[in-house]
């Protein structure tokens, strides 16, 4: 292995994980190939092919020290398996001081007349410096992480950027989308203050009378626990934000909608927990 500061860790991977016919089952359990970063390191994958037996015989993970705080894996995109939506593994957003890295993906499903209909895919991005604040959870299993509300509260309370990207997989009118959000947020704010009510009114105005077509991006970004930036774009990545929601209660309630004890997208929280377990080994 060439280059200073490189560590080669040989690891044998069961053949069923490398069999393309088993891909969907594997991704169903881990809904992202999200060994995307480990603090200030990047992870790459290399394989050796044996022409004699026509199969991959050994795979090496190579952990390379990186001077960049936004290093990503070899892939530029991660696909959410249920919706086939592709998420960038790293991105820069308006209002963020540095690039954010993808931690996990999932989808939101609504039931109409007993039929589940997928409405959107979602991915959580974080400033990598947040991971250095999570040493208390090193070595935890994904199932333990998923059930520990204090971990997700810690992620939210770190005054560094987190962002949820929502990608619609069907046409939805803005009022319907807001009504669903409001239905989830309002019960989490027991006694809304005038500041909370004003923030909710601002939030509502972004979506009222606005068609949200399939493929629309919605970014909900928390630069710190006291506020949230909202950006909506029907044409790729947003160049600016649509509104700033300045209410700690509203910001906290919305994060809880996705990462509390009753998340609206269980697959997203499970995927994030898997990502954290991989990083915090």
31-47, pLDDT tens digit by residue? Answer: 444 444 433 344 433 44
pLDDT over 80 (residue 201): yes
Of residues 26 and 163, more confidence is placed in 163
How crowded is the C-beta side of 208, counted as CA atoms within 13 Å? 7
Question: What is the number of structural domains in the chain?
Answer: 1
Q: Cα 76 from chain centroid?
A: 15
Q: What is the CATH number of the domain that holds 182?
A: 3.50.70.10
Model confidence band, residue 60 (pLDDT cutoffs 50, 70, 90): very low
Query: For residue 85, is it within any domain?
Result: yes
Query: For residue 61, is it within any domain?
Result: no
pLDDT over 70 (residue 264): yes
d(CA 108, CA 266): 8
Residues 19-26 have a mean pLDDT of 40
Query: For residue 214, is it within any domain?
Result: yes
Query: For residue 151, is it within any domain?
Result: no
d(CA 188, CA 204): 17
Q: What pTM was estimated for this model as a whole?
A: 0.74
Query: For residue 167, is it within any domain?
Result: yes
Residue 249: the pLDDT is 97
Query: For residue 207, is it within any domain?
Result: yes
Q: Nearest 5°: CA angle at 208, between 189 and 181?
A: 35
pLDDT over 60 (residue 262): yes
> Which range marks the domain in which residue 92 is found?
77-130+158-258
Query: For residue 224, is it within any domain?
Result: yes
Of residues 257 and 60, more confidence is placed in 257
Query: For residue 94, is it within any domain?
Result: yes
d(CA 157, CA 37): 21
Model confidence band, residue 114 (pLDDT cutoffs 50, 70, 90): low
Residue 21: the pLDDT is 44
How crowded is the C-beta side of 190, counted as CA atoms within 13 Å? 0
């Amino acid at each position: 292995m060439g280059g200073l500061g490189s560590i080669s860790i040989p690891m044998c991977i069961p053949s069923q994980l490398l069999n393309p016919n088993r891909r969907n089952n594997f991704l169903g359990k881990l809904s992202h190939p999200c060994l995307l970063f480990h603090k200030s390191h990047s992870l790459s994958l290399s394989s050796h092919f044996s022409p004699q037996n026509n199969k991959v015989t050994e795979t090496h993970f190579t952990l390379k020290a990186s001077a960049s705080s936004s290093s990503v894996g070899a892939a530029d995109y991660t696909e959410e398996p249920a919706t086939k939506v592709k998420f960038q593994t790293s991105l820069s957003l308006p209002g963020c001081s540095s690039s954010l890295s993808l931690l996990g993906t999932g989808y939101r499903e609504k039931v109409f007349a007993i039929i589940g209909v997928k409405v959107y895919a979602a991915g959580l991005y974080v400033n990598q410096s947040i991971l250095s604040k999570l040493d208390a959870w090193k070595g935890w299993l994904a199932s333990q992480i998923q059930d520990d509300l204090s971990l997700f509260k810690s992620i939210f309370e770190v005054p560094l950027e987190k962002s949820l990207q929502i990608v619609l997989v069907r046409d939805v009118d803005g009022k319907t989308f807001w009504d669903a959000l409001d239905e989830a947020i309002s019960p989490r704010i027991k006694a809304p203050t005038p500041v909370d009510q004003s923030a909710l009114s601002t939030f509502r105005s972004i979506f009222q009378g606005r068609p949200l077509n399939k493929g629309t991006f919605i970014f909900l970004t928390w630069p710190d626990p006291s506020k949230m930036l909202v950006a909506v774009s029907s044409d790729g990545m947003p160049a600016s934000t649509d509104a700033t929601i300045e209410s700690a209660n509203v910001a906290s309630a919305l994060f809880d909608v996705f990462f509390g004890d009753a998340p609206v997208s269980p697959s997203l929280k499970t995927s994030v927990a898997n990502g954290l377990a991989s990083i915090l080994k």
